[in-house]
Amino acid sequence: MMHFADSLTFSGRKVVAAWAALPFPALSGSSLPDILSAHQQDVPWKLLSSWREQKVSCCFAQSVVLRGICREKSTSCPGQPRSPLHSCESPEEVLQQFFHTQFPGAFSTSHVLQQPCDTRPPFPQFFSPLLTRRGFLQDKAQGYSSGGVESIPVLAALQSSPGLRWLLAGLCRELQAPNVRRWSSFCTAGVEQDDFQEALEELKTLSQCYETGFGASEDEADSD
């Protein structure tokens, strides 16, 4: 995982954020272009990393894996123009086109696997009754319990984005608050005050690697 994260970082950056859609919000019988066309205003996956979630409008690099979406023929609603996503020839091209629209200029890689994620026991059964046995959304709840969901489509992503500056800067502030000289465990572990301060400076420098000119105002507001 460390080497994989390194492949998505550059210019002094070392940290990536994890995102996931579990399950991926797909209507039964719809194609990938249909699904993503319904999410033009925002990405259909949620942040897993521990910072205050906000809409990510840009990123430096990302790698996304989607599994469990069949290669069904794309459709569009009658009377509505086909989107650029419907002109793509493969699911990989659909994802790349979607990323190009959502994150212009970012380095993005995508992989599509047909096999869904197996959710039969002992997988935790916390799913909505609106899911089919294959994990697709429907308007009416099924007659069986959520334990009947046997598999789901899943999207997972690692992303290097400016929002990580807030996470790293917040961690730096939390670590500056306590006086490590008062903590016997630090001394027992052989942590020197000078080494600790040096590590804090490195963390602060790392957070600054995620600065962007147009995102500075947002970061300052977060720090307040």
Question: Do 108 and 66 touch, CB atoms closer than 8 A?
Answer: no
Give residue 129's pLDDT.
Answer: 86
Q: Residue 86 has what pLDDT?
A: 87
Per-residue pLDDT tens for 185-219? 766 777 677 888 888 999 999 999 988 764 443 44
Burial of 65 (0-12, 13-18, 19+ CB in 10 A): middle
Measured CA to CA, the distance from residue 208 to residue 201 in angstroms comes to: 11
Residue 77 φ then ψ, to 5°: -65, 140
CA 146, CA 127: separation in Å to the nearest integer? 5
Average pLDDT, the chain: 80
Residue 49 CB coordination number (10 Å): 15
List Cβ neighbours of 35 (8 Å cut-off, separation of 6 or more).
Answer: 24, 25, 26, 27, 44, 69
- Residue 151 has a pLDDT of 94
What is the predicted pLDDT for the residue at 143? Answer: 60
Instruction: Kindly report, residue by residue over 99-127, the tens digit of the pLDDT.
Output: 888 888 888 899 999 899 999 989 988 88
3-state secondary structure of 135: coil
Measured distance CA(97)–CA(90) in Å, rounded? 11
Task: Name residue 220's amino acid.
Answer: E
DSSP label of 120:
-
The pLDDT assigned to 214 comes to 45
For the sheet with 17-21, list strands across it: 46-47, 17-21, 154-160, 61-67, 107-113
φ, ψ of residue 136 to 5 degrees: the values are -95, 150
CA-based torsion, 36, 38, 43, 48: positive or negative = negative
Q: Token match 């790293």: residue?
A: 168
Would you give per-residue pLDDT tens digits along the chain (224 residues)? Answer: 888 888 888 888 888 989 999 999 988 888 889 888 888 777 888 888 766 655 667 889 999 999 998 655 555 444 445 678 888 888 899 999 998 888 888 888 999 998 999 999 899 888 888 888 899 988 776 665 555 889 999 999 999 988 888 888 888 888 887 676 666 676 677 767 788 888 899 999 999 998 876 444 344 434 43
pTM: 0.76
Per-residue pLDDT at 55: 64
- Contact predicate 45/20, CB 8 Å: yes
Burial class (CB in 10 A: 0-12, 13-18, 19+), 39: middle
Q: How many CB atoms lie within 10 A of CB 155?
A: 24
Could you give the CA distance from residue 34 to residue 76 in angstroms, rounded to a whole number?
7
Give the per-residue pLDDT at 7. Answer: 84
